[in-house]
């Protein structure tokens, strides 16, 4: 007989597969937007630029990126998802954007070659790419007891430049077999962070980061935040759809109630950047290069997308080419029309705030002129 713990370990890689299938087949996005539509960049008619010379490159954690973009953490851990990782890795190497892998928990706990290979292949196909490893915060609580050893294994498996620890209390509390024991993780992670050679960031998966939590990161040895805000894939939604199939009616009802829980990505970015100068990745509902440009103007170092990469990678390399080329052009057009020849200039242009986001910022006492955007 398998213990509860063994069962949970076995289920991890199959659950990841189920998640992926749901994301590809069902409507998994939040009904709320990122609120990026409330942030307006000012058009510049006197354009003194050569479009072809607009520079979208930057250096992050010692690696040069051609685009301020990361294919956000999604997958690995099951043979059926290996192709997704392979395709995204090939595109990342070709176009010079960063890539995060999905939770590596299954690889650490099961030690099966087919699982570890689905991650290792990413580094093989993307030798020059900034890669971000991934583990869950709940695993650092007292129940699972992860320590430096697990972080180092996850990093070494893909020779990552950084590691993201995902904080996903909304997802876990709706997931029927979710890990809701987070207690102690923050203290332990802080204790570990200084011993790890690469940057550690915290990452939400669709409910965003508040100014209060960003302040905690600012005062900690952690290196940054992937804000994973509301407005894109809802992980509470994905778990709700899983429950629908399993007819667990009470959690299903609660999943629907909390489907759109969280802080919209653009607002979350403003909240976090107003109190920290650490690296910020804006993920959650970014769907084109213009939205990414706005996020950078609001103070993000780079933007991230998950669902669009999943959908394109499932179709093949040609779809990924289209996705990335389109993103690149939309970003450059936005820079062209705002008179910015590089990303540094994009971070200092005026941004006008309206509507819901203006109300939010006023109530939260966040300076509407956003003087801290340039700090990066």
The residue ranges that bind ligand FMN (CB under 6 A) are 19-20, 23, 72-75, 102-103, 134, 164, 166, 203, 205-206, 228, 232-233, 283-286, 305-307, 310
**Is the distance from CB of 200 to CB of 148 less than 8 angstroms?**
no
Q: Which is nearer to ligand FMN, 28 or 65 (CB)?
A: 28
Cβ atoms within 10 Å, residue 81: 23
**Is the distance from CB of 272 to CB of 364 less than 8 angstroms?**
no
Largest CA distance in the chain: 73
Q: Which is nearer to ligand FMN, 199 or 206 (CB)?
A: 206
**CB of 20 vs ligand FMN, minimal distance in Å:** 5
Q: Which is nearer to ligand FMN, 240 or 338 (CB)?
A: 240
Nearest residue to 54 (alpha-carbon basis) of 330, 313, 375, 371 = 330
Q: Which is nearer to ligand FMN, 72 or 222 (CB)?
A: 72
**CB of 51 vs ligand FMN, minimal distance in Å:** 27
**Is the distance from CB of 186 to CB of 222 less than 8 angstroms?**
no
Q: Which is nearer to ligand FMN, 180 or 249 (CB)?
A: 180
Q: Which is nearer to ligand FMN, 56 or 171 (CB)?
A: 171
**CB of 372 vs ligand FMN, minimal distance in Å:** 24
Phi then psi dihedrals of residue 284, to 5 deg = 115, 90
By CB atoms closer than 10 A (0-12, 13-18, 19+), residue 182 is buried
Residue 240 to residue 256: CA distance in whole angstroms: 7
Residue nearest to ligand FMN (CB): 232
Residue 229 to residue 206: CA distance in whole angstroms: 5
Q: Hey, is 343 helix, strand or coil? A: helix
Q: Hey, is 307 helix, strand or coil? A: helix
**CB of 206 vs ligand FMN, minimal distance in Å:** 5
**Is the distance from CB of 282 to CB of 376 less than 8 angstroms?**
no
**CB of 73 vs ligand FMN, minimal distance in Å:** 4
Cβ atoms within 10 Å, residue 339: 17
**CB of 256 vs ligand FMN, minimal distance in Å:** 19
Q: Which is nearer to ligand FMN, 75 or 175 (CB)?
A: 75
**CB of 44 vs ligand FMN, minimal distance in Å:** 29
Locate 135 and state its tokens.
Answer: 């583990």
């Amino acid at each position: 007989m398998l213990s509860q713990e063994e069962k949970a370990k076995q289920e991890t890689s199959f659950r990841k597969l189920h998640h992926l299938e749901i994301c590809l087949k069902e409507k998994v996005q939040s009904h709320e937007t990122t609120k990026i539509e409330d942030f307006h960049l000012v058009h510049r008619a006197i354009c003194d630029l050569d479009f072809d010379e607009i520079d979208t490159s930057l250096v992050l954690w010692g690696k040069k990126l051609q685009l301020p973009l990361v294919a956000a953490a999604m997958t690995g851990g099951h043979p059926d998802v290996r192709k997704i990782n392979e395709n995204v890795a090939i595109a990342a190497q070709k176009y010079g954007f960063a890539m995060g892998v999905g939770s590596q928990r299954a690889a650490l706990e099961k030690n099966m070659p087919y699982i570890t290979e689905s991650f290792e292949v990413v580094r093989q196909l993307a030798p020059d790419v900034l890669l971000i490893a991934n583990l869950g915060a709940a695993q650092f609580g007292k129940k699972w007891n992860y320590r430096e050893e697990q972080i180092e294994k996850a990093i070494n498996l893909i020779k990552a430049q950084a590691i993201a620890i995902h904080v996903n209390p909304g997802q876990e509390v709706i997931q029927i077999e979710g890990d809701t024991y987070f207690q102690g993780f923050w203290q332990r992670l802080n204790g570990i962070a200084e011993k790890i050679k690469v940057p550690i960031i915290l990452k939400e998966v669709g409910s965003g980061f508040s100014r209060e939590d960003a302040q905690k990161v600012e005062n900690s040895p952690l290196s940054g935040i992937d804000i994973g805000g509301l407005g894109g894939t809802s992980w509470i939604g994905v778990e709700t759809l899983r429950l629908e199939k399993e007819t667990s009616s009470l959690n299903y009802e609660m999943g629907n109630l909390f489907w759109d829980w969280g802080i919209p990505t653009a607002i979350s970015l403003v909240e976090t950047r107003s109190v920290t100068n650490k690296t910020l990745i804006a993920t959650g509902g970014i769907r084109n290069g213009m939205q990414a440009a706005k996020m950078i103007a609001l103070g993000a170092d780079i933007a991230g997308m998950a669902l669009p990469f999943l959908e394109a990678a499932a179709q093949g390399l040609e779809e990924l080419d289209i996705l990335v080329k389109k993103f690149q052009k939309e970003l450059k057009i936005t820079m062209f029309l705002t008179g910015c020849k590089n990303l540094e200039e994009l971070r200092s242009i005026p941004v006008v705030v309206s509507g819901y986001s203006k109300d939010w910022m006023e109530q939260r006492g966040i300076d509407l002129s956003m003087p801290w955007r340039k700090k990066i």
